[in-house]
Chain A
Amino acid sequence: MNSIFNRDLWKEILESINSNGFRTLITAFGVFWGIFILVLLLSASNGFQNGVQRQFDGMSTNTVFVWSQTITKAYKGNPKNRRYSFNVGDAEAIRRNIKGLKTVSPRNRLGGWGGSTIITHEMNTGSYLVEADYPEILTQRSLKIKEGRFINQSDIEKKRKIAVLGWAIISELYEPGEEVIGSYIKIQGVSFKVVGVYKDVSINGRKNIDEQKNIHVPFTTFSQVFNRGDKVGFFMITGVDDIPITDVKEDILALIRKRHDIHPEDDRAVGNWDFNKFLQKFNQLFIALKAVSYFVGIMILGSGVIGISNIMLIVIKERTKEIGVRRALGAKPSSIRRQILLESLFLTLFAGMAGVSFAAFVTFLVNLFIDSKYPEGDAMLYNASIDLPTVGISLVILVICGLIAGFIPAQTAIKIKPIEALRTD
Chain B
Amino acid sequence: MNIFKQNFKRMIEITDLHKSYPVGNRNLHVLKGINFTAQEGELISIMGSSGSGKSTFLNILGILDEGDQGSYTLDGTQIKNLSEKVAANYRNQFLGFIFQSFNLIGYKTALDNVALPLYYQGVGRKERLEKSLFYLEKVGLADWSDHLPNELSGGQKQRVAIARALASEPKVLLADEPTGALDTKTSYEVMDLIQKINEEGKTILIVTHELDIAKMTKRIVHLKDGVIINDERIEPIKALAHV
- Where the two chains meet, the residues of A that have a C-beta atom closer than 8 Å to any C-beta of B are 1, 7-8, 12, 15-16, 18-19, 321-322, 325-335, 414, 417-419, 421-422, 424-425
Contacts and interface: CB of A to CB of B under 8 A. Distances in A.
Given A329-B92, A329-B164, A330-B88, A422 B120 contact: no
Nearest to B55: A422
A12 B105 CA distance: 11
Contacts of A335: 120
- Which 7 residue pairs of A and B lie closest in terms of their CB atoms, listed nearest first? A330-B92, A330-B120, A19-B107, A1-B122, A329-B117, A332-B88, A325-B103
Contact of B84 (A12, A321, A328, A333): A333
B99 interface: yes
B167 to A, nearest CB: 9
Nearest to A335: B120
A418 B108 CA distance: 19
Given A329-B120, A419-B59, A15 B107 contact: yes
A327 B99 contact: no
A1 to B, nearest CB: 4
B58 interface: yes
Contacts of B122: 1
Contacts of B89: 330, 332
Nearest to A329: B117
Contacts of A322: 105
A327 to B, nearest CB: 7
Interface string B60-71: 001011000000
Given A329-B120, A331-B88, A419-B64, 17 more contacts: A1-B119, A8-B125, A16-B107, A328-B64, A329-B91, A329-B117, A330-B91, A330-B93, A331-B120, A332-B88, A417-B64, A418-B62, A418-B64, A422-B55, A422-B58, A422-B59, A422-B99
Of residues A1, A8, A329, which shows the largest number of chain B Cβ atoms within 10 Å of its Cβ? A329
Nearest to A12: B119
19 contacts: A7-B125, A8-B125, A12-B119, A19-B106, A326-B105, A328-B62, A328-B97, A329-B97, A329-B116, A330-B88, A330-B89, A330-B117, A332-B84, A418-B62, A418-B64, A419-B65, A422-B62, A422-B99, A424-B100
A424 B176 CA distance: 10
Of residues A8, A325, A414, which shows the largest number of chain B Cβ atoms within 10 Å of its Cβ? A325
B105 A328 contact: no
B112 to A, nearest CB: 8
Contacts of A16: 107
B103 A321 contact: yes
Contacts of A421: 97, 99, 103
A229 B81 CA distance: 102
Nearest to A331: B120
A16 B122 CA distance: 20
Interface string B155-188: 0000000001000100000001100100000000
B101 interface: yes
A334 B122 CA distance: 14
Contacts of B180: 424
Interface in B107-138: 107-108, 116-117, 119-122, 125
A419 B55 CA distance: 10
A325 B105 contact: yes
Contacts of B84: 332-333, 414
B176 A422 contact: yes
Contacts, number: 80
A326 B120 CA distance: 9
B85 interface: yes
Nearest to B167: A329
Contacts of B101: 424-425
Contact of A328 (B85, B91, B93, B125): B91
Of residues A321, A328, A334, A425, which shows the largest number of chain B Cβ atoms within 10 Å of its Cβ? A328
A18 B108 CA distance: 11
Contacts of A419: 59, 64-65
A278 B88 CA distance: 67
Contacts of A417: 64
B88 A333 contact: yes
A332 B83 CA distance: 10
A153 B87 CA distance: 90
A336 to B, nearest CB: 10
A381 to B, nearest CB: 48
A206 B68 CA distance: 90
A8 B119 contact: yes
A332 B89 CA distance: 7
A26 B237 CA distance: 56
A327 B103 contact: no
Contacts of B88: 327, 330-333
Nearest to A6: B125
A375 B22 CA distance: 80
B85 A418 contact: no
A8 B89 CA distance: 19
A322 B125 CA distance: 22
A342 to B, nearest CB: 15
A329 B92 CA distance: 6
A393 B106 CA distance: 39
Given A325-B105, A328-B97, A333 B119 contact: no
B92 A333 contact: no
B151 to A, nearest CB: 16
Nearest to A418: B64
Contacts of A333: 84-85, 88
A1 B85 CA distance: 15
A15 B240 CA distance: 39
Contacts of A327: 88, 91
B100 to A, nearest CB: 5
A322 B101 CA distance: 12
